[in-house]
Chain A
């Protein structure tokens, strides 16, 4: 029973997909490193913090990427982003059964400035291109660094997001919000508040993620297989109708919850009888308990 959270990117790839099936493109031996970090006298990694390649998931050939949260918080630089884009384009060219992104990232690598920003926007475009070509893209989020900034947007550009309770998904991280808007707005040192606001359970309740699983590699694997099965018989492309439905959902969310001050009030407004009990529930009982209340359940 391996904790997904505690594994490195490469360990996740080795354990999540069929044993020995991951074949890496541009492995560390190729030494495709960041052209920017050396100029800043900063350490580089031989894979620039992301491993990409082909793998089997329950016998099906998929394309996979895993960001390494330990290297610069999984932040996206020029090479890192280009590897993700290349993977998505190759998935289209080879008509892969799907793309599975193991995301863990603070967003754009600030050292690489505009090159990093451009890279992230190219990843977004590539995800939508893959979906448009009929290749489903799913995001797994369960690392200690969460998934923030541009990669938070990338996650929500995919067909489905699978998270653990320990995972976090958002745009600006807690420290950024506190720095910009003050501690009265958001206390980044209040761990419980941070997880209530950005954690997997809240995202699941709000309809921002489609599956909530326990922090186990086997559970992430099972959810990825089930999600890929489900997507085989669905339209993968992002349609105007789907976009408008999403916009409606967001508008309703703002309308219903916009004046509330903390996630627990939102859970109560969703009709959950004992919102205080939610943070203590294991993933399975939690999903059962909130099934009738979460947004996007139907």
Chain B
């Protein structure tokens, strides 16, 4: 397993005070737990992945995600079993949309 952490500042979109989990930790899939948390305006992401050595790819996917949603005071935790970058992006969007109660 490999643990990767990311922290993005400067977001503006706050989430309601709920926590949601989407996805399942199964082959080629992942679960995303998303919740609001007081993080001085940051969005913090922790990834635990079974696929080693993809740090640069994860960073690119996470940066894209932050640019898309601009979340503030948000904590995201991911348990991954080798999901592809496209699946990761879709699950992250699904997580945000679930918390927001639908697409923006």
Given the known interface contacts A46-B33, A70-B29, A71-B26, the answer about A28 and B21 at a Cβ–Cβ threshold of 8 Å is yes
Q: Report the stretch among A36-44, A240-248, A266-274 that lies at the interface.
A: A36-44
A43 and B80 within 8 A (CB): yes
The residues of A that contact B100 with a CB separation of less than 8 Å are: none
B1 and A28 within 8 A (CB): no
B79 and A43 within 8 A (CB): yes
B24 and A8 within 8 A (CB): yes
The residues of A that contact B81 with a CB separation of less than 8 Å are: 43
The residues of A that contact B25 with a CB separation of less than 8 Å are: 43-45, 70-71
Q: How far is the CA of A41 from the CA of B3 in the complex (A)?
A: 11
B77 and A46 within 8 A (CB): yes
Q: How far is the CA of A31 from the CA of B46 in the complex (A)?
A: 13
A29 and B33 within 8 A (CB): yes
Q: How far is the CA of A10 from the CA of B19 in the complex (A)?
A: 14
The residues of B that contact A43 with a CB separation of less than 8 Å are: 1, 25, 48-50, 79-81
Number of A-B contacts (CB under 8 A): 48
A29 and B31 within 8 A (CB): no
- In the complex, 8 of the A-B residue pairs with CB atoms within 8 angstroms, ordered by the A residue number, are A9-B24, A27-B21, A29-B19, A43-B49, A43-B79, A46-B33, A46-B77, A68-B24
* Interface residue? B73 (CB, 8 A): no
Total contacting residues, chain A, CB less than 8 A: 18
Instruction: Produce 1/0 per residue, B48-84, CB < 8 A to A.
Output: 1110000000000000000000000000010111000
Looking at A31, A46, A68, the one whose CB has the most chain B CB atoms below 10 A away is A46
Shortest distance between the CB of A202 and any CB in chain B (Å): 28
Q: Closest chain A residue to B81 by CB distance? A: A43
Q: How far is the CA of A29 from the CA of B17 in the complex (A)?
A: 12
* Interface residue? B42 (CB, 8 A): no
The residues of A that contact B48 with a CB separation of less than 8 Å are: 43-44
Q: Closest chain A residue to B35 by CB distance? A: A29
Looking at B1, B29, B35, the one whose CB has the most chain A CB atoms below 10 A away is B1
* Interface residue? A47 (CB, 8 A): yes
B79 and A46 within 8 A (CB): yes
